[in-house]
Structure 1
């Protein structure tokens, strides 16, 4: 079956090309359904035909067959050459939980009605009415997550596997070895800190986040090899002994004003210690009109958080406003970069 590719799209009439963009849910939702039904796990032991697969995942065979047919066009599933039925492709395998770079929770979070509805309210954001998620749900995303434990679990799970890979790349791309103590602010379940400390056997870390998030993180580290190298601190109590303060994809969730307030707290913790560094792991948007995933992530954070991705000039301006001086930007796993700053 011919898969949809960039080259095949370029051959379509202009109105059809636009239609494939506008009707993006036609392609996204079948993948969400595969994740919801855990089809990748059902096929982990080998191919199954549609009736057998439907029985295993609790679906109606005809409807599931149509979803699989569409997903095959996208290269997510494929028909087994031996005629045994359906199998997951290397792309579709990422819908399994626990595999490297798993996107199962990411897919479920993106396809959740709560986050989908925020995009339906995005026009209100254009009119200055506030973040779309707030308009759709009557409260901000992070407040909503505190009352929706399954969605909160998916939110944390969405970024964990990707962060684990990023940590390995970041440790190779940037000189973290000069730091003795890393404070990971808003570090969630500790995937980034864990990866960095694994690569830096002489360092220790402090994970900073909300108390409910830290509770889960403590359990994760308790029986592992890093248990005696990680401390925990709630938001609002930044450690003053760290020599690197790391924030990964935290600031893109907030407005410039909110970011400046947060960075002021970090600056206070760094005060009087000129060797310390602020390390931001964030996207840096291309200034021109080339394709850049960060420009689409920017829409996601605008809708769900009222935040924004930033260009290099915008990062420099924000850091200067908060009393920092930008010293370097090091590209790492796309679309992320490592932005280093010191106190001005």
Structure 2
């Protein structure tokens, strides 16, 4: 595959053009979204193809398709070859479905009309301090997903490939040997929990998530090879923290909650642990780093601020939160960027 090496901000780009590119981001993102909806990356996964061939395969006109491909090639997602055909770059490969760390569903979710409507109301968020998704769509984000099965599947698909990458990094970073029960709170369809149970036959698992999500848990956890070792719990945080686990895992759920709900969840986990000093709380979250450097956590923070009233925390904020809820933060390690593993023990 062809790699252009193109940078989003080439070194020659003067400050006014850098600002123009940020302000006019839709000139890049909207062509990318259209190409994702047409599955262009899937069509190119086996090799370069002519624009006319691609247009015929997905029922569009060659000229506007070429212009969208040309625009996205300028930022390194696709590449135009000398003979006029287009190919995938290493970045563009992540736009294809079924590839490692695929971002196809992620792209479709962030561009869905429901989330663009909420972002259109960002000034309301600034004025009121409240998330705008409910005002824009008639109900809170996760209630909306419960009632929209197609979008809910896209939402789950958006995080599944990233969860797979994070899970591999977690298994390399944290040793689950010696734990008896691992509870994955807000664990989606159970990808992370399945991996832990596969690697540690002596561990039992608890998968807790919203009823509509648990209902669609992976077949291995419902009727398959792991069903006898897993308890499925339909519930929400902070109300439904199950007792009796000695490893509590919360991946990318707390940043979707209000500060009050985060505190209540941490306290509920601490109460469930009781006096078992060997129990551990594992938080997988983005962490905002100091300084002015490029930091994905700052952008995820905007997403959750607008759509669900959540927050991405700094290391110091996590330390303070955990201490106030009866935990000691013992380790903070990088996983798959932008994710960190925060390990805490009862204090």
TM range (shorter): over 0.9
In 2, distance between residues paired with 1:2 and 1:46? Answer: 16
In 1, distance between residues paired with 2:119 and 2:80? Answer: 34
In 2, distance between residues paired with 1:44 and 1:108? Answer: 19
Residue 131 of structure 2 corresponds to which residue in structure 1?
131
TM-score scaled by length of structure 2: 0.92
* Residues 220 and 226 in structure 2, CA contact (< 8 A), matched pair in contact too: no
Residue 61 of structure 2 corresponds to which residue in structure 1?
60
> Structure 1: 5+ residue runs without aligned partners?
none
C-alpha offsets along residues 20-77 of structure 1, whole Å, 9 cap, x if unaligned? 1111121112111111011122233443211221111111221111111112112222
Alpha-carbon shift at residue 261 of structure 1 (Å): 1.6
In 1, distance between residues paired with 2:201 and 2:195? Answer: 11
Alpha-carbon shift at residue 113 of structure 1 (Å): 1.5
Residue 71 of structure 1 corresponds to which residue in structure 2?
72
Residue 310 of structure 1 corresponds to which residue in structure 2?
313
In 1, distance between residues paired with 2:49 and 2:80? Answer: 9
306-315 vs 324-333, which deviates more? 324-333
Residue 41 of structure 2 corresponds to which residue in structure 1?
40
C-alpha offsets along residues 93-112 of structure 1, whole Å, 9 cap, x if unaligned? 22222121111101111111
SS of the equivalent of 2:41 reads: helix
Q: How does 1:183-198 map to 2 (within 5 A)?
A: 183-198=183-198
In 2, distance between residues paired with 1:165 and 1:199? Answer: 16
Q: How does 1:1-344 map to 2 (within 5 A)?
A: 4-6=6-8, 8=10, 10-80=11-81, 83=83, 85-219=85-219, 221-222=221-222, 225-235=225-235, 236-344=239-347
In 1, distance between residues paired with 2:184 and 2:129? Answer: 33
SS of the equivalent of 1:285 reads: coil
SS of the equivalent of 2:248 reads: strand
TM-score scaled by length of structure 1: 0.92
Quickly say closer, same or farther: Cα 1:84–1:63, change in 2 above 3 A: closer
Quickly say closer, same or farther: Cα 1:7–1:253, change in 2 above 3 A: closer
In 1, distance between residues paired with 2:266 and 2:30? Answer: 38
In 2, distance between residues paired with 1:86 and 1:225? Answer: 44
Quickly say closer, same or farther: Cα 1:220–1:152, change in 2 above 3 A: farther
Quickly say closer, same or farther: Cα 1:119–1:219, change in 2 above 3 A: same
Aligned Cα root-mean-square deviation (Å): 2.1
- Number of residues paired by the alignment? 342
